[in-house]
Chains A and B, each alone.
Chain A
Amino acid sequence: MTNLETAENGTTRRRRRDRINVPTVTLAHGGGGKAMRDLIDDVFVSAFDNPSLAPLEDQARFYLADLAGHGDRLAFTTDSYVVSPLFFPGGDIGKLAVCGTINDLAVGGAVPLYLSCGAIIEEGVEVDTLRKIARSMADAANDAGVQIVTGDTKVVDRGACDKLFLNTTGVGVIRTGIDLAASNVESGDVFLVNGVLGDHGAAILNARGDMALSTPIESDCAALHDLIHSLLDACSSVRFVRDATRGGLATVLNEVAEASEVGIQIQEDKTPIRDEVKGFCEILGLDPLYLANEGKLVCAVAEEDADKALAAMNAHKHGRGSVAIGRAVAERPGRVVMETVFGGRRIVDMLVGEQLPRIC
Protein backbone atom coordinates (compact mmCIF):
# COMPACT_ATOMS: atom_id res chain seq x y z
CA MET A 1 0.00 0.00 0.00
CA THR A 2 1.55 3.30 -1.04
CA ASN A 3 1.32 6.40 1.09
CA LEU A 4 1.28 8.64 -1.96
CA GLU A 5 -1.83 10.18 -3.39
CA THR A 6 -2.44 12.29 -6.44
CA ALA A 7 -3.30 15.88 -5.71
CA GLU A 8 -5.81 17.84 -7.75
CA ASN A 9 -3.11 19.58 -9.74
CA GLY A 10 -1.63 16.25 -10.77
CA THR A 11 1.49 16.34 -8.59
CA THR A 12 2.13 13.38 -6.41
CA ARG A 13 2.12 13.98 -2.72
CA ARG A 14 2.42 11.72 0.26
CA ARG A 15 -0.74 11.12 2.24
CA ARG A 16 -0.81 13.00 5.54
CA ARG A 17 -0.92 11.20 8.81
CA ASP A 18 -3.15 12.31 11.65
CA ARG A 19 -1.97 14.61 14.42
CA ILE A 20 0.45 12.80 16.68
CA ASN A 21 -0.98 12.37 20.11
CA VAL A 22 1.98 12.56 22.47
CA PRO A 23 2.50 15.87 24.30
CA THR A 24 6.31 16.09 24.13
CA VAL A 25 9.10 15.26 21.73
CA THR A 26 11.26 12.28 22.69
CA LEU A 27 14.41 10.85 21.17
CA ALA A 28 12.13 8.40 19.33
CA HIS A 29 11.03 11.30 17.15
CA GLY A 30 14.59 11.67 15.90
CA GLY A 31 15.17 8.01 15.17
CA GLY A 32 14.42 8.13 11.47
CA GLY A 33 11.41 5.84 11.79
CA LYS A 34 7.68 6.27 11.81
CA ALA A 35 7.63 8.50 14.87
CA MET A 36 9.90 10.98 13.12
CA ARG A 37 7.86 10.97 9.94
CA ASP A 38 4.72 11.56 11.97
CA LEU A 39 6.29 14.49 13.81
CA ILE A 40 7.54 16.09 10.60
CA ASP A 41 4.17 15.64 8.93
CA ASP A 42 2.20 16.96 11.86
CA VAL A 43 4.40 19.91 12.70
CA PHE A 44 6.18 21.10 9.60
CA VAL A 45 4.66 19.67 6.43
CA SER A 46 1.12 20.57 7.39
CA ALA A 47 2.19 24.14 8.17
CA PHE A 48 4.50 24.76 5.22
CA ASP A 49 2.24 23.10 2.65
CA ASN A 50 3.41 24.01 -0.87
CA PRO A 51 3.98 22.22 -4.20
CA SER A 52 7.77 22.13 -3.97
CA LEU A 53 7.72 20.62 -0.52
CA ALA A 54 4.88 18.23 -1.15
CA PRO A 55 6.82 15.44 -2.89
CA LEU A 56 9.13 15.23 0.15
CA GLU A 57 12.13 14.24 -1.86
CA ASP A 58 15.55 14.80 -0.35
CA GLN A 59 15.81 18.09 -2.17
CA ALA A 60 13.55 20.79 -3.53
CA ARG A 61 13.70 21.24 -7.32
CA PHE A 62 13.19 24.42 -9.35
CA TYR A 63 13.24 25.28 -13.00
CA LEU A 64 16.11 27.63 -13.80
CA ALA A 65 13.85 29.47 -16.20
CA ASP A 66 11.54 30.42 -13.32
CA LEU A 67 14.45 31.85 -11.40
CA ALA A 68 15.86 33.70 -14.39
CA GLY A 69 12.61 35.61 -14.69
CA HIS A 70 13.50 37.54 -11.54
CA GLY A 71 16.99 38.70 -12.43
CA ASP A 72 20.45 37.61 -13.45
CA ARG A 73 22.22 36.42 -10.29
CA LEU A 74 21.40 33.92 -7.59
CA ALA A 75 21.65 35.02 -3.95
CA PHE A 76 22.22 32.32 -1.39
CA THR A 77 22.49 32.74 2.39
CA THR A 78 22.18 30.85 5.65
CA ASP A 79 21.62 31.79 9.26
CA SER A 80 20.99 29.90 12.51
CA TYR A 81 18.60 31.03 15.21
CA VAL A 82 19.16 30.16 18.86
CA VAL A 83 17.16 32.90 20.55
CA SER A 84 16.01 32.38 24.11
CA PRO A 85 13.19 32.62 25.04
CA LEU A 86 11.51 30.99 22.02
CA PHE A 87 8.55 33.36 22.30
CA PHE A 88 9.02 37.06 23.01
CA PRO A 89 6.91 40.20 22.63
CA GLY A 90 6.66 40.94 18.92
CA GLY A 91 7.61 37.50 17.64
CA ASP A 92 9.12 34.08 18.17
CA ILE A 93 12.06 32.06 16.91
CA GLY A 94 10.06 30.91 13.86
CA LYS A 95 9.15 34.36 12.63
CA LEU A 96 12.71 35.48 13.33
CA ALA A 97 14.18 32.57 11.32
CA VAL A 98 12.05 33.42 8.30
CA CYS A 99 12.36 37.21 8.41
CA GLY A 100 16.07 37.14 9.26
CA THR A 101 17.04 35.04 6.29
CA ILE A 102 14.69 36.93 3.95
CA ASN A 103 16.41 40.14 5.07
CA ASP A 104 19.85 38.68 4.45
CA LEU A 105 18.79 38.01 0.86
CA ALA A 106 16.95 41.28 0.43
CA VAL A 107 19.77 43.56 1.58
CA GLY A 108 21.74 42.29 -1.42
CA GLY A 109 18.92 43.45 -3.66
CA ALA A 110 17.54 39.93 -4.12
CA VAL A 111 13.94 38.89 -4.51
CA PRO A 112 13.67 36.17 -1.82
CA LEU A 113 12.06 32.99 -3.17
CA TYR A 114 12.79 29.82 -1.25
CA LEU A 115 13.82 28.88 2.27
CA SER A 116 14.91 25.68 3.94
CA CYS A 117 14.17 24.89 7.56
CA GLY A 118 16.52 22.82 9.71
CA ALA A 119 15.28 22.19 13.23
CA ILE A 120 17.37 20.84 16.11
CA ILE A 121 14.96 19.95 18.89
CA GLU A 122 15.81 19.17 22.49
CA GLU A 123 13.90 16.15 23.79
CA GLY A 124 11.13 17.17 26.12
CA VAL A 125 9.91 20.14 24.08
CA GLU A 126 6.13 20.23 23.78
CA VAL A 127 4.78 19.30 20.40
CA ASP A 128 2.32 22.15 20.67
CA THR A 129 5.20 24.57 21.03
CA LEU A 130 6.69 23.26 17.79
CA ARG A 131 3.31 23.47 16.04
CA LYS A 132 2.99 27.11 17.06
CA ILE A 133 6.48 27.95 15.85
CA ALA A 134 6.00 26.14 12.53
CA ARG A 135 2.70 27.97 12.07
CA SER A 136 4.46 31.24 12.75
CA MET A 137 7.15 30.40 10.16
CA ALA A 138 4.48 29.55 7.63
CA ASP A 139 2.61 32.78 8.26
CA ALA A 140 5.76 34.87 7.98
CA ALA A 141 6.72 33.08 4.77
CA ASN A 142 3.24 33.51 3.28
CA ASP A 143 3.19 37.18 4.16
CA ALA A 144 6.54 37.60 2.45
CA GLY A 145 5.61 35.51 -0.58
CA VAL A 146 8.38 32.96 -0.07
CA GLN A 147 8.10 29.20 0.20
CA ILE A 148 9.73 26.86 2.68
CA VAL A 149 10.63 24.05 0.34
CA THR A 150 12.90 21.65 2.15
CA GLY A 151 13.83 20.83 5.69
CA ASP A 152 15.47 18.59 8.23
CA THR A 153 14.69 17.63 11.80
CA LYS A 154 16.98 16.29 14.49
CA VAL A 155 16.15 15.50 18.09
CA VAL A 156 18.98 15.72 20.62
CA ASP A 157 19.46 14.71 24.27
CA ARG A 158 18.23 17.01 26.96
CA GLY A 159 20.87 19.68 27.52
CA ALA A 160 22.48 19.23 24.10
CA CYS A 161 20.61 22.27 22.82
CA ASP A 162 18.32 24.87 24.36
CA LYS A 163 14.78 23.69 23.45
CA LEU A 164 14.96 24.51 19.75
CA PHE A 165 17.54 25.77 17.31
CA LEU A 166 16.50 26.65 13.77
CA ASN A 167 18.55 27.10 10.66
CA THR A 168 17.11 28.66 7.55
CA THR A 169 18.91 28.85 4.23
CA GLY A 170 17.51 31.16 1.62
CA VAL A 171 17.66 31.40 -2.13
CA GLY A 172 16.72 34.52 -4.04
CA VAL A 173 17.45 36.21 -7.32
CA ILE A 174 19.14 39.58 -7.64
CA ARG A 175 17.53 42.02 -10.02
CA THR A 176 19.55 42.89 -13.08
CA GLY A 177 21.63 46.02 -12.66
CA ILE A 178 21.60 46.08 -8.86
CA ASP A 179 24.97 46.11 -7.14
CA LEU A 180 24.79 46.79 -3.43
CA ALA A 181 27.95 46.52 -1.33
CA ALA A 182 29.33 47.98 1.88
CA SER A 183 32.37 49.07 -0.12
CA ASN A 184 30.36 51.34 -2.46
CA VAL A 185 29.94 54.31 -0.15
CA GLU A 186 31.49 57.61 -1.22
CA SER A 187 32.21 60.74 0.72
CA GLY A 188 29.07 62.90 0.84
CA ASP A 189 26.63 59.99 0.78
CA VAL A 190 23.77 60.14 3.25
CA PHE A 191 22.93 57.33 5.68
CA LEU A 192 19.30 56.42 6.29
CA VAL A 193 17.52 54.12 8.74
CA ASN A 194 13.91 52.98 8.54
CA GLY A 195 12.81 53.78 12.10
CA VAL A 196 13.54 53.46 15.81
CA LEU A 197 16.54 51.39 16.81
CA GLY A 198 17.20 48.81 19.51
CA ASP A 199 13.70 47.42 20.01
CA HIS A 200 14.59 43.78 19.35
CA GLY A 201 17.65 43.72 21.59
CA ALA A 202 15.79 45.39 24.45
CA ALA A 203 12.74 43.12 24.01
CA ILE A 204 14.86 39.96 24.14
CA LEU A 205 16.97 41.06 27.12
CA ASN A 206 13.77 41.98 28.88
CA ALA A 207 11.97 38.76 27.95
CA ARG A 208 14.76 36.73 29.58
CA GLY A 209 13.53 38.23 32.82
CA ASP A 210 16.92 38.26 34.62
CA MET A 211 16.72 41.99 35.22
CA ALA A 212 13.11 41.89 36.48
CA LEU A 213 12.04 44.89 34.43
CA SER A 214 8.66 45.32 32.84
CA THR A 215 8.40 47.21 29.57
CA PRO A 216 6.00 47.42 26.65
CA ILE A 217 8.92 47.12 24.18
CA GLU A 218 8.28 44.63 21.35
CA SER A 219 10.71 43.14 18.87
CA ASP A 220 10.68 44.89 15.49
CA CYS A 221 11.06 41.56 13.67
CA ALA A 222 9.87 42.05 10.07
CA ALA A 223 10.71 41.04 6.52
CA LEU A 224 12.14 44.05 4.71
CA HIS A 225 12.42 42.89 1.08
CA ASP A 226 9.39 44.80 -0.07
CA LEU A 227 10.63 48.01 1.55
CA ILE A 228 14.06 47.51 -0.01
CA HIS A 229 12.55 47.02 -3.47
CA SER A 230 10.47 50.17 -3.08
CA LEU A 231 13.68 51.98 -2.20
CA LEU A 232 15.58 50.51 -5.15
CA ASP A 233 12.72 51.42 -7.50
CA ALA A 234 12.68 55.00 -6.29
CA CYS A 235 16.37 55.67 -6.07
CA SER A 236 19.14 54.57 -8.39
CA SER A 237 22.04 55.61 -6.18
CA VAL A 238 21.53 53.18 -3.28
CA ARG A 239 25.09 52.15 -2.36
CA PHE A 240 24.42 49.41 0.14
CA VAL A 241 21.71 48.10 2.44
CA ARG A 242 22.38 46.17 5.65
CA ASP A 243 20.02 44.97 8.33
CA ALA A 244 21.29 46.17 11.69
CA THR A 245 21.06 42.87 13.57
CA ARG A 246 23.61 41.71 16.15
CA GLY A 247 25.85 44.56 17.22
CA GLY A 248 23.24 47.09 16.08
CA LEU A 249 23.69 50.26 14.09
CA ALA A 250 27.19 50.88 15.46
CA THR A 251 28.52 47.62 14.10
CA VAL A 252 27.05 48.07 10.61
CA LEU A 253 28.43 51.59 10.33
CA ASN A 254 31.88 50.44 11.40
CA GLU A 255 31.85 47.67 8.82
CA VAL A 256 30.84 50.12 6.11
CA ALA A 257 33.40 52.74 7.17
CA GLU A 258 36.09 50.11 6.94
CA ALA A 259 34.92 48.55 3.67
CA SER A 260 34.43 51.87 1.89
CA GLU A 261 37.42 53.60 3.53
CA VAL A 262 35.32 56.62 4.46
CA GLY A 263 34.65 58.32 7.75
CA ILE A 264 31.06 58.28 8.93
CA GLN A 265 29.56 61.10 10.98
CA ILE A 266 26.21 60.55 12.61
CA GLN A 267 24.17 62.83 14.80
CA GLU A 268 22.83 61.60 18.09
CA ASP A 269 19.76 63.84 17.96
CA LYS A 270 18.84 62.45 14.53
CA THR A 271 19.22 58.82 15.55
CA PRO A 272 15.73 57.54 16.42
CA ILE A 273 15.31 55.58 19.63
CA ARG A 274 12.02 55.21 21.44
CA ASP A 275 11.71 56.53 25.00
CA GLU A 276 11.20 53.09 26.55
CA VAL A 277 14.39 51.80 24.94
CA LYS A 278 16.23 54.87 26.18
CA GLY A 279 14.91 54.25 29.70
CA PHE A 280 15.77 50.57 29.48
CA CYS A 281 19.32 51.44 28.43
CA GLU A 282 19.73 54.10 31.13
CA ILE A 283 18.72 51.63 33.84
CA LEU A 284 21.04 48.88 32.68
CA GLY A 285 23.88 51.08 31.46
CA LEU A 286 23.60 49.87 27.86
CA ASP A 287 24.21 51.77 24.64
CA PRO A 288 21.22 51.49 22.27
CA LEU A 289 23.51 51.89 19.25
CA TYR A 290 24.73 48.35 19.88
CA LEU A 291 21.33 46.74 20.53
CA ALA A 292 20.14 44.27 17.90
CA ASN A 293 17.35 45.03 15.44
CA GLU A 294 15.43 42.51 13.35
CA GLY A 295 13.37 44.85 11.21
CA LYS A 296 15.68 47.81 10.74
CA LEU A 297 17.98 48.54 7.88
CA VAL A 298 20.74 51.03 7.28
CA CYS A 299 21.49 52.24 3.77
CA ALA A 300 23.44 54.96 2.05
CA VAL A 301 22.38 56.97 -0.99
CA ALA A 302 23.85 59.86 -2.95
CA GLU A 303 23.15 63.16 -1.23
CA GLU A 304 20.91 64.46 -4.03
CA ASP A 305 18.72 61.35 -3.79
CA ALA A 306 18.26 61.36 -0.03
CA ASP A 307 14.85 63.06 -0.01
CA LYS A 308 13.54 60.82 -2.76
CA ALA A 309 14.78 57.72 -0.95
CA LEU A 310 13.27 58.86 2.34
CA ALA A 311 9.93 59.57 0.71
CA ALA A 312 9.83 56.09 -0.81
CA MET A 313 10.79 54.47 2.47
CA ASN A 314 8.30 56.48 4.50
CA ALA A 315 5.52 55.46 2.13
CA HIS A 316 6.08 51.81 3.04
CA LYS A 317 4.58 50.23 6.17
CA HIS A 318 8.00 49.09 7.39
CA GLY A 319 9.58 52.44 6.64
CA ARG A 320 7.41 54.89 8.51
CA GLY A 321 9.83 56.79 10.65
CA SER A 322 12.68 56.63 8.15
CA VAL A 323 15.23 59.38 8.70
CA ALA A 324 18.70 60.49 7.69
CA ILE A 325 21.16 59.98 10.53
CA GLY A 326 24.45 61.13 9.10
CA ARG A 327 26.84 61.12 6.18
CA ALA A 328 30.07 59.76 4.81
CA VAL A 329 33.05 62.11 4.97
CA ALA A 330 36.62 62.03 3.74
CA GLU A 331 38.12 62.67 7.19
CA ARG A 332 39.14 59.81 9.44
CA PRO A 333 38.49 56.92 7.06
CA GLY A 334 37.38 53.75 8.83
CA ARG A 335 36.05 55.66 11.84
CA VAL A 336 32.48 56.34 12.95
CA VAL A 337 32.11 59.57 14.89
CA MET A 338 28.93 60.68 16.59
CA GLU A 339 28.10 64.28 17.25
CA THR A 340 26.42 64.02 20.64
CA VAL A 341 23.19 65.79 21.61
CA PHE A 342 25.48 67.95 23.63
CA GLY A 343 27.61 69.14 20.75
CA GLY A 344 30.66 67.04 21.62
CA ARG A 345 32.02 64.23 19.55
CA ARG A 346 32.77 60.66 20.36
CA ILE A 347 34.06 57.71 18.44
CA VAL A 348 31.57 54.89 18.02
CA ASP A 349 33.76 51.81 17.90
CA MET A 350 33.06 48.11 17.46
CA LEU A 351 32.29 46.27 20.68
CA VAL A 352 34.87 43.86 22.01
CA GLY A 353 32.31 41.30 23.11
CA GLU A 354 28.64 41.34 23.92
CA GLN A 355 27.23 44.29 25.80
CA LEU A 356 26.64 43.52 29.47
CA PRO A 357 24.38 45.36 31.90
CA ARG A 358 26.48 47.41 34.29
CA ILE A 359 25.95 49.31 37.49
CA CYS A 360 29.02 51.46 37.39
Chain B
Amino acid sequence: MCLGIPGQIVEITDKTRKLGLVDVSGVKREVNLACIVNEEHPVADCVGDWVLVHVGFAMSRIDEAEAAETLKILEQLGEVQDELAAMRASAEALGKAS
Protein backbone atom coordinates (compact mmCIF):
# COMPACT_ATOMS: atom_id res chain seq x y z
CA MET B 1 0.00 0.00 0.00
CA CYS B 2 1.02 3.56 -0.53
CA LEU B 3 4.12 3.65 -2.67
CA GLY B 4 6.07 6.78 -1.84
CA ILE B 5 9.45 7.93 -3.04
CA PRO B 6 11.79 10.76 -2.03
CA GLY B 7 12.43 13.48 -4.59
CA GLN B 8 13.68 17.04 -4.69
CA ILE B 9 11.60 20.00 -5.82
CA VAL B 10 13.52 21.75 -8.58
CA GLU B 11 11.03 24.28 -9.93
CA ILE B 12 7.67 25.88 -9.15
CA THR B 13 5.44 25.52 -12.22
CA ASP B 14 2.14 27.02 -11.02
CA LYS B 15 2.10 29.10 -7.88
CA THR B 16 -1.71 29.51 -7.69
CA ARG B 17 -2.40 25.82 -8.13
CA LYS B 18 0.59 24.95 -5.93
CA LEU B 19 2.34 22.84 -8.53
CA GLY B 20 6.05 22.14 -8.81
CA LEU B 21 8.50 19.91 -10.63
CA VAL B 22 10.05 17.15 -8.56
CA ASP B 23 13.20 15.28 -9.55
CA VAL B 24 13.68 11.61 -8.67
CA SER B 25 17.06 10.39 -9.94
CA GLY B 26 16.80 12.47 -13.08
CA VAL B 27 13.14 11.63 -13.72
CA LYS B 28 10.89 14.66 -13.42
CA ARG B 29 7.19 14.93 -12.72
CA GLU B 30 4.84 17.78 -11.88
CA VAL B 31 3.40 17.31 -8.40
CA ASN B 32 0.94 19.09 -6.17
CA LEU B 33 2.57 20.81 -3.19
CA ALA B 34 -0.55 21.71 -1.17
CA CYS B 35 0.25 19.30 1.68
CA ILE B 36 3.73 20.65 2.36
CA VAL B 37 3.11 24.39 2.32
CA ASN B 38 1.78 26.73 4.99
CA GLU B 39 2.17 30.35 5.99
CA GLU B 40 5.70 29.85 7.29
CA HIS B 41 6.71 27.80 4.26
CA PRO B 42 5.02 29.25 1.15
CA VAL B 43 5.16 27.68 -2.31
CA ALA B 44 7.95 29.99 -3.40
CA ASP B 45 10.23 28.58 -0.68
CA CYS B 46 9.79 24.96 -1.76
CA VAL B 47 12.55 24.79 -4.38
CA GLY B 48 15.30 22.60 -2.99
CA ASP B 49 12.99 20.78 -0.54
CA TRP B 50 13.26 17.01 -0.33
CA VAL B 51 9.77 15.56 -0.20
CA LEU B 52 8.01 12.21 -0.14
CA VAL B 53 5.95 11.86 -3.32
CA HIS B 54 2.81 9.73 -3.52
CA VAL B 55 0.50 9.61 -6.59
CA GLY B 56 1.54 13.03 -7.81
CA PHE B 57 1.41 14.79 -4.43
CA ALA B 58 4.25 15.87 -2.18
CA MET B 59 2.97 14.47 1.10
CA SER B 60 5.73 15.26 3.58
CA ARG B 61 8.88 17.33 3.79
CA ILE B 62 11.75 15.04 4.66
CA ASP B 63 13.43 15.93 7.93
CA GLU B 64 17.15 15.76 7.21
CA ALA B 65 18.14 15.86 10.88
CA GLU B 66 15.84 12.94 11.75
CA ALA B 67 17.17 10.92 8.82
CA ALA B 68 20.72 11.49 10.01
CA GLU B 69 19.69 10.61 13.57
CA THR B 70 18.21 7.27 12.48
CA LEU B 71 21.40 6.38 10.64
CA LYS B 72 23.50 7.49 13.60
CA ILE B 73 21.63 5.14 15.93
CA LEU B 74 22.48 2.26 13.63
CA GLU B 75 26.11 3.33 13.33
CA GLN B 76 26.40 3.53 17.10
CA LEU B 77 24.98 0.02 17.38
CA GLY B 78 27.86 -1.10 15.20
CA GLU B 79 30.41 0.85 17.23
CA VAL B 80 29.17 -0.62 20.49
CA GLN B 81 29.33 -4.09 18.99
CA ASP B 82 32.85 -3.48 17.72
CA GLU B 83 33.92 -2.21 21.12
CA LEU B 84 32.42 -5.21 22.85
CA ALA B 85 34.13 -7.52 20.41
CA ALA B 86 37.44 -5.71 20.96
CA MET B 87 37.03 -5.93 24.74
CA ARG B 88 36.24 -9.62 24.48
CA ALA B 89 39.27 -10.16 22.29
CA SER B 90 41.60 -8.29 24.61
CA ALA B 91 40.15 -10.08 27.64
CA GLU B 92 40.88 -13.37 25.94
CA ALA B 93 44.36 -12.20 25.06
CA LEU B 94 44.95 -11.19 28.67
CA GLY B 95 43.56 -14.52 29.84
CA LYS B 96 46.02 -16.34 27.65
CA ALA B 97 48.91 -14.16 28.75
CA SER B 98 48.37 -14.75 32.43
Name A residues whose Cβ lies closer than 8 Å to a Cβ of B.
211-217, 275-276, 278-280, 282-283, 285, 358-360
Which B residue's beta carbon lies closest to that of A206? B27
The interface residues of chain B lying within 8 Å CB-to-CB of A275 are: 25-26
The interface residues of chain B lying within 8 Å CB-to-CB of A360 are: 1-3
Q: Is A215 a contact partner of B26 (Cβ separation < 8 A)?
A: yes
The interface residues of chain A lying within 8 Å CB-to-CB of B25 are: 275-276, 278-280, 282
Does B91 interact with chain A (Cβ within 8 Å)? no
The interface residues of chain B lying within 8 Å CB-to-CB of A213 are: 27-29
Also in contact, A212 and B27, with CB within 8 A (given A285-B3, A359-B54): no
The docked-state distance in angstroms from the alpha carbon of A217 to that of B27 is 9
Q: Is A212 a contact partner of B30 (Cβ separation < 8 A)?
A: yes
The docked-state distance in angstroms from the alpha carbon of A268 to that of B93 is 40
Partner of B53, one of A212, A217, A280, A283: A283
Also in contact, A283 and B27, with CB within 8 A (given A359-B54, A359-B55): yes
Name the distance in Å between A75's Cβ and chain B's nearest Cβ.
39
Does B34 interact with chain A (Cβ within 8 Å)? no
The interface residues of chain B lying within 8 Å CB-to-CB of A282 are: 5, 24-25
Partner of A280, one of B27, B54, B55: B27
Instruction: Provide the B42-57 mask, 1 if CB < 8 A to any CB of A, else 0.
Output: 0000000000011100
The interface residues of chain B lying within 8 Å CB-to-CB of A280 are: 25, 27
The interface residues of chain A lying within 8 Å CB-to-CB of B53 are: 283
The docked-state distance in angstroms from the alpha carbon of A283 to that of B5 is 6
The interface residues of chain A lying within 8 Å CB-to-CB of B54 are: 359
The interface residues of chain A lying within 8 Å CB-to-CB of B5 are: 279, 282-283
Q: Is A212 a contact partner of B3 (Cβ separation < 8 A)?
A: no
The docked-state distance in angstroms from the alpha carbon of A25 to that of B2 is 47
Which A residue's beta carbon lies closest to that of B22? A283
Give 7 closest A-B pairs by Cβ, nearest first: A279-B25, A276-B26, A279-B24, A279-B27, A360-B1, A215-B27, A214-B28
The docked-state distance in angstroms from the alpha carbon of A176 to that of B52 is 57
Name the distance in Å between B66's Cβ and chain A's nearest Cβ.
21
Name the distance in Å between A20's Cβ and chain B's nearest Cβ.
41
17 extra interface residue pairs, beta carbon distance < 8 Å, beyond A215-B27, A216-B26, A283-B29: A213-B29, A217-B27, A275-B25, A276-B25, A276-B26, A279-B24, A279-B25, A279-B26, A282-B24, A283-B5, A283-B24, A283-B27, A283-B53, A359-B2, A359-B3, A359-B54, A360-B3
Name the distance in Å between B97's Cβ and chain A's nearest Cβ.
37
Q: Is A358 a contact partner of B28 (Cβ separation < 8 A)?
A: no
Q: Is B27 a contact partner of A358 (Cβ separation < 8 A)?
A: no
The docked-state distance in angstroms from the alpha carbon of A12 to that of B56 is 62
The interface residues of chain B lying within 8 Å CB-to-CB of A283 are: 5, 24, 27, 29, 53
The interface residues of chain A lying within 8 Å CB-to-CB of B26 are: 215-216, 275-276, 279
